[in-house]
Homo-oligomer: A and B are copies of this chain.
Amino acid sequence: MKTDKGTLFVFSGPSGTGKGTILGEYFKKYNDNKLRYSVSATTRSPRVGETDGINYYFVSQDKFKAMIDSDELLEWARFCDNYYGTPKKQIMDMLSDGIDVILEIETVGAMKIKAKIPEAVMIFVLPPSLSELKSRLTSRGTESADVIKKRTDEAVREIEQSVKYDYIIINDKIEEAVEDFRTIVNSQRLKTNNNKNTISEVLKK
């Protein structure tokens, strides 16, 4: 049977909402082989514990600029003298193999992706409240009051973008947020557009 195309999930939400935890717990609990991470490219140096090809593709500035010039990136941006970008080929290959792809990215990059791949499914993770998010950022204990204020302001700006997304997950209890994520992923697998070949098969048999 011919495989239907995979779905690209774009996953955003302010710093401190637990996006990484939701995905980590989901993969641990459900061992979903039909869903894979998109790995970004960056020019920044690897941190301790980070592996090339898993956390990021670590590339030189020259290599990154060559990737931009040859249109190998779906989107890219520059933060603090470092470049970050989303390689196109790996995503397109997985999707055409029927694999779903999850791409964690901030809202500006997310909108660039949506413009290029309109059928991408956009998921936004919300904290239960702004005050809860602020207390989560504070309890990390690693940031100054200034940094926390800056992050909270940034969170408000990001949350205002959430109306442009398809789905909202409120990360109040992590187990429920994982189930919500699973519901969204599985619902896409039931979409008629992702089952055109299945319908033909039913009619053939």
Q: With a CB–CB cut-off of 8 A, which chain B residues contact A163?
A: 192, 196, 199
- Number of this chain's copies in the assembly equals 2
A158 → chain B closest CB, angstroms: 11
Cα(A5)–Cα(B164), bound, Å? 18
Q: With a CB–CB cut-off of 8 A, which chain B residues contact A127?
A: 202
Q: Tell me whether A26 is interfacial, beta carbon within 8 Å.
A: no
Q: Tell me whether A31 is interfacial, beta carbon within 8 Å.
A: no
- Besides A130-B203, A168-B190, 16 new A-B residue pairs in contact (Cβ under 8 A), listed by A number: A128-B202, A159-B199, A160-B203, A162-B199, A163-B196, A163-B199, A164-B192, A165-B192, A166-B191, A167-B187, A168-B195, A170-B198, A180-B186, A183-B187, A184-B187, A184-B190
List 5 tightest A-B contacts by C-beta distance, closest first.
A187-B187, A129-B205, A183-B186, A167-B190, A168-B195
Sample (11) of A-B pairs whose CB atoms are under 8 Å apart: A124-B192, A126-B199, A126-B202, A129-B201, A130-B202, A156-B203, A162-B199, A163-B199, A165-B192, A168-B198, A180-B190
